[in-house]
């Protein structure tokens, strides 16, 4: 994909990986729209990045997606790139019970959200001479965490869905790219993650990701070296070892 001159929507753009990607895209001369359900966090992003646009919506709510899609297409007809970054990650103790509501919220946000939003925006994107859909999955799509089972399952599902979408759209103007982060210093699971020395520093992750994304041709999957062992675990025979190491961490 071109790295400048786009109009880019970043869901979950108020914090973490989404915010930093939005800021880098903005600095490279793209028009960037950050979307989240947290108005105060969106306002902080826009205040720090003059010219960026903020839109509030709930990716887990079909009615919110429908209203949001109509608004963004009416107000930003140049939209040609969608980055599906919004997601939640919550620990689940399955034997303890009382986790179904948590699991359903994760599925609605992480899997149904990108699917519903793509359905709403795809006809518009297909009409553009150059467009792209980027999905943010996870290294846990390839080796799950025993303690985050539904999160891992949604990311595996999004990985498979992205592969199918790419195949169906390969003769169109819409590129489909998967970005699969490793464990990164963000607040996805809480403030402790942002300072966990086991996690990849956010700025290092963003720099390596942008370097890979800038390649020609654009790679189908953007996998930083820290995530490569998870992506290749089945192929290398390291799946069980890595699975147990994640479970023990």
The residue annotated as part of the active site, out of 68, 151, 183, 205, is: 151
* Dihedrals phi, psi of 231, to nearest 5 degrees: -60, -35
Query: What is the Cα 152 distance to its own chain's centre?
Result: 13
Tell me, yes or no, if 205 is annotated catalytic.
Answer: no
CA dihedral 226, 115, 34, 15 (to 10 degrees): -40
First to last CA, the chain: 36
Which residues, 6 or more positions from 108, have their beta carbon under 8 angstroms from its beta carbon? 60
Q: At what angle do helices 100-107 and 149-168 cross, to 10 degrees?
A: 20
* Dihedrals phi, psi of 141, to nearest 5 degrees: -70, -25
- Beta 53-56 vs 81-84: how paired, if at all? unpaired
Tell me the two tokens of residue 162.
Answer: 């992205």
Nearest to 131 by CA among 75, 170, 175: 175
Helix segments in 53-148, DSSP class H: 62-75, 100-107, 113-126
Instruction: Catalogue the active-site residues.
Output: 151
């Amino acid at each position: 994909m071109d790295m400048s001159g786009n109009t880019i929507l970043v869901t979950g753009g108020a914090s973490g990986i989404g915010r930093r990607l939005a800021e880098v895209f903005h600095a490279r001369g793209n028009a960037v729209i950050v979307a989240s359900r947290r108005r105060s966090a969106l306002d902080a992003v826009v205040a720090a990045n003059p010219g960026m646009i903020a839109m509030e919506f709930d990716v887990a709510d079909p009615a919110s997606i429908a209203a949001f899609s109509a608004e963004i297409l009416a107000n930003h007809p140049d939209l040609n790139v969608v980055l599906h970054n919004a997601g939640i990650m919550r620990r689940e103790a399955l034997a303890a019970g009382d986790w179904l509501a948590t699991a359903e919220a994760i599925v609605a946000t992480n899997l149904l959200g990108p699917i519903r939003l793509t359905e709403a925006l795809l006809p518009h994107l297909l009409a553009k001479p150059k467009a792209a859909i980027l999905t943010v999955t996870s290294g846990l799509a390839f080796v799950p965490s025993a303690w985050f089972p539904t999160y891992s399952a949604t990311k595996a599902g999004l990985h498979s869905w992205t592969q199918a979408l790419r195949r169906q759209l390969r003769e169109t103007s819409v590129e489909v790219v998967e970005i699969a982060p490793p464990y990164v210093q963000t607040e996805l699971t809480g403030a402790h993650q942002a300072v966990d020395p086991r996690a990849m520093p956010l700025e290092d992750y963003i720099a390596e990701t942008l370097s890979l994304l800038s390649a020609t041709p654009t790679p189908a999957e953007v996998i930083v070296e820290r995530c490569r062992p998870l992506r290749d675990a089945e192929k290398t025979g390291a799946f069980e070892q890595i699975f147990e190491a994640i479970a023990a961490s």
